[in-house]
Amino acid sequence: MKNVVARSTLTRYMAFSEKDAKPDREKGRRDGKNAFPRHEANEPSPHELERVGQAKAAITAYDRHLHDVREQLDLDIASREQELNEGYLGQKESVIHAKESALENIRQESGANSEAFRQLYNIQEEKKENFRRVELRLNRPLQVHFVRVYMVMLTVLAILEAPINKLAVEFFFQESPLLAMVLALTVGIVLVSLAHFLGVLLRQGGHYREKLGLKNYLASIAVILAVAGSMIYLISSLRQQYVNFLSQEQQTDLAALLLSDGVGGLFERSIQTELGIAGLTLLVLNVSIFLLGVLFSFLRHDSDPDYERVTIERDRAVSNLVEYRNKFEQRAAELQREFDEKITYLEKKSLDLEAEIRELHSQRESLEVQREHDLNIVIDVLRQQILAYQSGNVEARNGNGVPEYFGEPPLTELQSRVAA
């Protein structure tokens, strides 16, 4: 832009070379032949004054263009500064305020001062206190085993019961093996459930003796043992009856047997059947699985039913508060990241604008340096033109007196004439 200003008004001076002074030298020779200017002259000749006028006119035009450039730069600087202050910096302050307000709102809604947080915190402290009371009363740690896999272990036991019990119930469901398997699995689930409850009663005997009374406590154990024992013995008897039926020499049809004895008669005959190897084997297997279930249940539970309950309640309360706090912190972090991205964008745009403003100021300041440089070029060309005129003039005088003012023109005088 600076060079454009210079070239648009000072083209002849920017491109000046020694040969361009030839017209001045020729003009000087013509005037010198006529002994002009006169020897006693102390003012520049009309030709020299013409060159000074041309230089002054060029500088004047140059300054007009330069003024326009300064004004445009000033407008650009003002526009950028307004955009920076009212736009990006103002927006940045608004975003920062909005960020602080949003974070404060979320702290009030979900932070440590929120109603929801205080409620969860109070529940946690209550559950911790309940746990501490039981812990101090018992003065020992919680005694439970394989908590996570306990239900899997009971399920495995129930599944193991299914093929064993199927050996007995298939006596009635020879034509429906799937139904026989479902019934066998159901029996297995019932036996495993009874084993679970018996294990709990035995493990937490002190609690249940106090709660139910000794008689009711023993009666509960007796009922479970009676039901489980009856089921196991019945299953074993049915298996033995089925084996006996298959081993009979007469080929009595099962349907005919059911028609003659009825289901009740068949059950009565099965109960009265003396257990052989097949029945005893089934009996031992079922009793073993039942006792294994009782052992698993016994080891799984603590002797005090409140201990595990208050431990679970405490852990759940702590977990709920931690989860709530984590969600709050995650939400706050996401909100902060969202605002920080906006602030970072505005800061980048602000830095870009500040760089543009600095560049515009630098351009404006360089205009003055450029003007001084261009003015010196004009002065130097003017000096060469004047010296070329005087040189040609002296050569053509043939010994006539040289005007008194001839010689190296003072730069300050030329500058004052041109830039005045």
pLDDT digits (tens, 9 = 90+) for 130-154: 999 999 999 999 999 988 999 999 9
- Domain ranges (residues) in the chain: 2-106+330-419, 144-301
Using the predicted structure, report yes or no on whether residue 81 has a pLDDT greater than 60: yes
Q: Which residues contact 160 (CB under 8 A, 6 or more apart)?
A: 188, 289
pLDDT tier, 258 (very low <50, low <70, confident <90, very high otherwise): very low
pLDDT of residue 387: 92
Confidence of residue 411 (pLDDT cuts 50, 70, 90): low
How much is the pLDDT for 244?
A: 74
Q: Of 204-218, 237-251, 329-343, 373-387, which gets the smallest average pLDDT?
A: 237-251
Residue 255 exposed, middle or buried by CB count within 10 Å (0-12, 13-18, 19+): exposed
Confidence of residue 252 (pLDDT cuts 50, 70, 90): very low
Stretch among 23-32, 178-187, 217-226 having the lowest mean pLDDT: 178-187
pLDDT at 248 over 80: no
CA 183 to chain centre: 55
pLDDT band at 260 (very low <50, low <70, confident <90, very high): very low
pLDDT band at 268 (very low <50, low <70, confident <90, very high): low
83 or 420: which carries more pLDDT confidence?
83
Residue 273 has pLDDT above 80, yes or no: no
pLDDT at residue number 181: 85
Contact 414, 56 (CB under 8 A): no
First-to-last alpha carbon distance for the chain, in angstroms, is: 25
- What pLDDT, on a 0 to 100 scale, did the predictor assign at position 175? 60
Tell me the per-residue pLDDT of 85-127, one tens digit each, with 9 for 90 and over: 887 878 888 888 998 999 889 988 888 888 999 999 999 999 9
What pLDDT is recorded for position 322?
95
- Give whichever of 251-260, 333-342, 394-403 has the largest mean pLDDT: 333-342
Res 331: pLDDT: 92
Confidence of residue 270 (pLDDT cuts 50, 70, 90): low
As given in the structure block, the two tokens for residue 101 are 């307000």
Q: If you write DSSP's letter for every residue of 228-258 in order, what string do you get?
A: HHHHHHHHHHHHHHHHHHHH-SS---HHHHH
Contact, 404 vs 41, CB < 8 A? yes
Query: CA geometry: angle at 417 spanning 412 and 420, to 5°?
Result: 105
pLDDT in tens, 293-340: 999 999 999 999 899 999 999 999 999 999 999 999 999 999 999 999
Backbone angles phi, psi at 121, to 5 degrees: -65, -45
Residues above pLDDT 70, as percent of the chain: 90
Q: Is the pLDDT of residue 241 over 80?
A: no
Three-class SS of 143-173: CCCCCCCHHHHHHHHHHHHHHHHHHHHCCCC
Closest CA to 363 of 20, 2, 90: 2
Q: Which residue has the higher pLDDT, 173 or 227?
A: 227
Is the per-residue pLDDT at 255 higher than 50? no
Task: Give the distance, in angstroms, between the CA of residue 343 and the centroid of all CA atoms in the same chain.
Answer: 16
Percent of the chain with pLDDT over 90: 50
Q: Which of 132-141, 204-213, 409-418 has the lowest mean pLDDT?
A: 409-418
Residue type, 119: Q
